[in-house]
Structures are given as structure tokens and as C-alpha cells.
Amino acid sequence: MKFFKYALLASTLIFASCSDDDDNAPDPVNEEEVITTLTVTLDSGSDTVVMQYQDLDGDGPDAATVTVSGSLNANTTYDGSIVLLNETESPAENVTEEIEEEDDEHQFFYTVGSGLDVATDYANFDGDGNPLGTLFVLNVGSASSGGLTFTLRHEPNKPNTGLENAGGSTDIEVTFDVTVE
């Protein structure tokens, strides 16, 4: 097959002048839209619980790391804040800022799994007064355990009454196993 290769290279010499003489390797792509990390910080004033979902290879085969720093105190109110990062870039890009800038096109939803005795309230809103939800209030009830799911919808119908009629496309859907003690 060597013959063909040489014949080919020779016959394509004529193209060399037409094509970019670019033997340099291409640059890597900065993935601008990827969200690798979601961090929820719950602060009651005296107690702080951090929940994190981190998947550094995005849609690659590696599994995500999901951590919850500790259990929540019963009958306590926590201030919650959500931070989204793109850690494929260095330094990491804070995606939360972008979402807060486009607050009318985004909304977080909180789904409390059966068995878990907590309730949520939105703590920040878009320009039209509809919820955004990167800040929220978590009212913890009695001792219990279950899943707490955070969903971020892009271009949802606003206002809505919940995920059932929010529409849009799902940018984030992450569940943490939460224990109330």
C-alpha cells in the first residue's frame, strides 16, 4: 500500500497550494456551557451543611461525586444558596452569575422526596417578580430522611405552579439524600 500512499501524496501536491499549510495541532476547546458542579450551602446561623454534586468529565464515563457534609437539625430554618461551576475551565467559571443575569429565563425547583419533612420557599426573584431560586429558605421539620431534588429549567413558562407545567429544558436535575436529626 506504500505505492498508493506515495502516488496519492504526489498527486495531491497540487492541492498543497490550495490548502492551508497547517500542520499545527488544533487548540483545545474551552467548554463554555458545561456545568460540572452544583454546590448547595445551607446555613442556619449556627449550623452549616454543604451538599455537592461534582462530575468533572461532564457527559464522559466517569461517575459523579455526590457529598452531603452532615445531617440537618430538626425544627430549624436554613438559608440556602446554590452555586454552579464549570470546572473544566481554569479558573473555574461561575455559571450562577450568568443564570442570575438571565433570571427571566431560568428557574430552580425543589422537590422534597416522600418521607422527608422539610419545606422550601423561594428567596430571590426575576424582574417580573417570578421565582428564580438560586437563593431559598429551607424549613426543616421533624426528624426524617429522604431525597431532596434540585431542578434547573432553562426557558420555563413563567409564571408556573411547579414542574408539572414549567416546560423548558432541564439543565440540572440532582438529588441529595438528606437526613434530619
DSSP sequence for 59-92:
TSSSPPEEEE-SPBPTT-EEEEEEEEEETTSSSP
Count, in order, helices (H) and strands (E) of the chain.
Answer: 3, 10
- Least Cβ distance, residue 58 to other proteins (angstroms): 7
Q: Does 151 bind other proteins (CB under 8 A)?
A: yes
Distance CA 157, CA 140 (A): 29
Site pattern 60..99 for other proteins (x: CB under 8 A): xxxxx-----------------------x-x-------xx
Q: Does 177 bind other proteins (CB under 8 A)?
A: no
Distance CA 58, CA 68 (A): 20
Distance CA 136, CA 107 (A): 12
Q: Does 100 bind other proteins (CB under 8 A)?
A: no
Q: Does 137 bind other proteins (CB under 8 A)?
A: no
Query: Is the separation of the CB atoms in 96 and 35 below 8 Å?
Result: no
Q: Does 26 bind other proteins (CB under 8 A)?
A: yes
**Which chain residues interact with other proteins by CB under 8 A?**
1, 4-5, 7-9, 11-12, 14-15, 18-20, 25-33, 35-36, 38, 53, 55-64, 88, 90, 98-99, 101-102, 105, 109, 111, 113-114, 147, 149, 151, 154-155, 163, 167, 169-175
